[in-house]
Amino acid sequence: MHANNIVHRDLKPKNILFVNPNEDDLYIKIVDFGLSCLFDPSKGITDAVGTSQYKAPEIWNEDYDRNYNEKVDTWALGVIAFKLLVGSYPFTGKTRD
């Protein structure tokens, strides 16, 4: 995905499927590309989209021009891994601040 300049921007457990076509194979499929986009690595992305609990800090940034890249998907995978291992989100609160 990233090698083809596509960023998902909404990775979360609900958008990751395990497919088991037979006893010997298990595949992981990423679904729901509704918020995904093509990106130019030299320009970055400025839209603030995604599911709050999985958004990278650079997506939240409003203090100056928001500018992020495909690495926000890696952040989301880290949050997913944390939630699977610990059973809660790494950051909680009533507001985003």
Query: What is the SS3 assignment for 23?
Result: coil
For residue 24, indicate whether it is catalytic.
no
**C-alpha to C-alpha distances, 30 to 7, 20, 40, nearest whole angstrom:** 12, 14, 22
Pairing status of strand 37-38 against strand 6-7: antiparallel
Catalytic residue among 10, 25, 73, 97: 10
d(CA 76, CA 59): 12
d(CA 51, CA 59): 11
The catalytic residues are 10
